[in-house]
Amino acid sequence: MTNSRPIFRIVVVCAIATLTLSACVVAPHPRTVYVQPAAVQPEIVVGVAPPPPYVEIIPVVPFAGAVWIGGYWGWSGGRHQWVPGRYDYARPGYRWQAHQWSPGLHGNWYLRGGGWIR
């Protein structure tokens, strides 16, 4: 009976190790795929100039390689609404083109959407 005690301990340790390791999953890191947005985004045309941009306080960079994308005045519900800035992952070979309001004919204003461009 004294010889069975070490064998029992080995069986118990192996059982605990098997249960512990069975919860571990080894999976490959997901591959990042960049999709280029459509080359031409529809413009928004309104008859009211956008207000001056807010002065945004840029928060601390949340991860290495993060790119700050500044906020802009969007158009929703028949009025200008501030869309706050955010961090995004950099896209190799691309640069961020910010949203832009441009004056047009007859007092209209055009919003060209921002996006990643080569």
Q: Using CA atoms, how far apart are residues 35 and 89, in angstroms rounded to an integer?
A: 13
In the chain, where the domains are located: 4-117
User: What mean pLDDT do residues 103-107 have?
Assistant: 87
Question: Which residues are within 8 A (CB) of 50 and not within 5 positions of it... i.e. 6 or more apart?
Answer: 73, 80, 101, 109, 111
For the stretch 59-97, pLDDT in tens is 999 999 999 999 999 999 999 999 999 999 999 999 999
pTM above 0.85, yes or no: no
21-30, 39-48, 77-86: the lowest-pLDDT one: 21-30
